[in-house]
Amino acid sequence: MTKHDENQDEISYTGERLVINDQIKQLHPLCLEQHLQRYIFASDYVKGKNILDAACGSGYGTKILYDAGALTCTGIDISNESVKYAQKTYGSNNISYTLGDVNKLSFNDGSFDVIVSFETIEHINNGQTWIKESARLLNENGLFIISTPNRSITNPGAYFNDKPTNPYHMFEYNTLEFIGELLCEYDIMNLYGQALVDGFKRERSHKFFTYRTFIKKILPQTIKSMSHKFRVNNIIPDQKNDLVPFSDIKNLQPTFIIAVCKKKHINNENFKSI
């Protein structure tokens, strides 16, 4: 058993951030596996790099990234309880955890090679502020690996300014809104979807839909009912934890959107005053 498999029973689960404990394993195994798969996916980009994991929560993901070959890993989180636990459990010479707000970080410009930010942006007041701050923190060739829920699935029929049903979310993007925000600071190298569902039917029936019923009832039922109808380049939708390239998604929508972005290079010589 590796350290990130250990139960994180010292931190209470409120629904705001994931911890690995018996409650999560028994009641929310799908949620746990989806979070772990995102970090495993990001592990392909970290070897020999200086990594920022924002927000790191209880720290298990930061440890996964370091074990994948990262040079250094820094986890930041706004929860003092989480940071203390993470530092005690996973801290080492090359893994550190610190308290911080992602929109107001004290690191120098260009401090990191890769920033990982899973299920973070929807928890803060202004997503564009975090996107700009992440670009400041990355070096010239830096990568930003970020995920967020897709409002078209989690809150179908809702507008951007509508309060999400998840009480811990300040807002939620749909796919085009998320891409538009990222393109202000980044070139998007790849887009992936996770937990594919028939989002078009969900959109039409949004009056009878809540986030809670989606997670507990609709998602498992939808995937089961669709498994014999849809195949996406041999990817069967009941592989609900896999990250599927957007190019392979047909007739479905992702519950979660994952983007791999590269910091933009702006050549000031190309911008001439008129």
**Averaged confidence pLDDT in the chain:** 81
The yes-or-no verdict on residue 222 having pLDDT over 60 is: no
Which residue range is the domain that position 73 belongs to?
3-264
Given this model, what pLDDT does residue 53 score? 98
- pLDDT at position 167, please? 93
215 has a pLDDT exceeding 90: no
| pLDDT interval class at 250 (50, 70, 90) | confident
Looking at the domain assignment, is residue 147 inside a domain? yes
Q: Looking up tokens 């008129």, which residue turns up?
A: 274
The CATH number assigned to the domain holding 219 equals: 3.40.50.150
User: Residue 230 — pLDDT band, cuts 50, 70, 90?
Assistant: very low
Highest mean pLDDT, choosing among 23-27, 89-93, 173-177: 173-177
Percent of residues, the chain, with pLDDT higher than 90: 63
Q: What is the pLDDT of residues 166-175, one digit of tens each?
A: 999 999 999 9
Of residues 215 and 89, more confidently modeled:
89
Note whether residue 274 is domain-resident.
no
Helices (H), 16-105: 22-27, 29-42, 60-67, 80-90
200 pLDDT band, cuts 50/70/90, is low
The answer to the question of residue 269 being in a domain is no
Q: Alpha-carbon dihedral of residues 111, 180, 31, 113, nearest 10 degrees?
A: -20
Q: Is position 234 within any domain?
A: yes
Distance CA 236, CA 231 (A): 5
Residue 273 lies in a domain: no
H or E segment to which residue 178 belongs: helix 175-182
pLDDT confidence of 274, banded at 50, 70, 90?
very low
- More confident of the two residues 48 and 238: 48
Answer whether 199's CB lies under 8 Å from 156's CB. yes
Say if 75 falls within a structural domain.
Answer: yes
**Total count of domains within the chain:** 1
The answer as to whether 272 is a domain residue is: no
Per-residue pLDDT reduced to its tens digit, 40-76: 999 999 999 999 999 899 899 999 999 999 999 999 9
Q: Which position has the higher pLDDT, 137 or 232?
A: 137
Q: In this predicted model, what pLDDT tens digit does every residue of 176-199 receive, in sequence order?
A: 999 999 999 999 999 999 999 875
